[in-house]
Structure 1
């Protein structure tokens, strides 16, 4: 993709997130985004169909950035591990204002759902490889662990990262080990 296009899209998404921090999604207009990004309304429509498309692309953009930060250092699969949790929390700590905006804005519950879906998908693959305890239902285990991870991430971001990234990752990992839902992984 052309550098100018990337730069324009980044300015538009940045302006959009700034506006999301100030007001509900439903109250934001394309004109406001254009003014804030210092582009024309037509430029926005060259890149996005409407503000809902802009929201979808914004969520996708920031989720990909989060996902990339969580990848193993060698760029391979995203397995549940303590280093992955630490990297995730450190990245979120560095970019707290953006992710807090995406999680708390009343008009965009989609970011939490997107995060939950990705974690469910990755946990599903992980459980298929390693299995669960014989007396445990696979789907219940996956839902439980995913809900716990997303819930802790969401609480931590919404409450302005009250615990250092390393400490919250350690505590979450310790809880996951204690519950022994997936003994081969934890």
Structure 2
């Protein structure tokens, strides 16, 4: 794997930061490439070296954040105890906290209308994989996974919309209790 030049990384970070800040201020449809470039303190041509258009920028921002999110979702097999589960959920909530502006904007109406569904599908996949056969056998696994994933996304939405009134650790502990009651 080749190493990416730091200048390229810094430019991409500046573009993404500018884009998310603008998205927090107004709807996607009203954001222009010129505004993004100006906010990122680069010229328009430089932005086009990295992204085809603002739709490509949006897609890559979503892809990048969801990839980082899934990387924080590593739940080790065999982690059954409350502390183990809370410890595995903590990095997830820390990820949301560190990327608050992105997720709060994307889950708001100013973001991509399909983002919530993208996030939900990622959580469904992860929930399905992490639960394995660890659910109550009297329950239908697919229904349980759908329920838990939708509840998780709903709780994350609430937490972000209310400007994170609880710490990531408190959120992880609450989620742990809720998950264990449903297994």
1: distance between equivalents of 2:69 and 2:146? 21
Deviations, residues 101-130 of structure 1 (Å, cap 9, x unaligned): 222143413332222111111122234x32
| Structure 2 contact 120–149 (Cα < 8 Å) conserved | yes
Q: Structure 2-normalised TM-score?
A: 0.84
Q: Deviations over 1:115-154 (max 9, x none)?
A: 2111111122234x32533332221111011111111111
CA drift of 1:19 comes to 0.5
Q: Distance in 1 between matches of 2:128 and 2:73?
A: 17
Q: Is the contact between residue 13 and residue 58 of structure 1 (CA under 8 Å) also seen in structure 2?
A: yes
- What does residue 130 of structure 2 align with? 126
Unaligned stretches of 5+ residues in structure 1: 181-186
Deviation at 1:167, TM superposition (A): 1.7
Q: Is the 8 A contact 1:96 1:157 kept in 2?
A: yes
Alignment of 1:52-71 (within 5 A): 52-71=55-74
1:34-113 equivalences under 5 Å are 34-71=37-74, 81-113=85-117
Q: Give me the whole-angstrom Cα distance separating, in 2, the residues matched to 1:126 and 1:168.
A: 19
Alpha-carbon distance in 2 for matches of 1:61, 1:178: 33
Pairs aligned (count): 175
The counterpart of 2:24, out of the listed 21, 29, 36, is: 21
Q: Report how far residue 63 of structure 1 moved.
A: 2.5
Distance of aligned partners of 1:154 and 1:122 in 2 relative to their CA distance in 1, 3 Å threshold:
same
Deviation at 1:97, TM superposition (A): 2.8
Matched-pair contact (CA < 8 Å) for 1:115–1:150: yes
CA drift at 1:70: 4.0
**Equivalence for 1:146:** 149
Look up the SS of the partner of 2:107 in the other structure. helix
Extract unaligned runs of 5+ from structure 2: none
Normalising by structure 1, we get a TM-score of 0.82
* CA shift for structure 1 position 168: 2.0
Q: Is the 8 A contact 2:26 2:110 kept in 1?
A: no
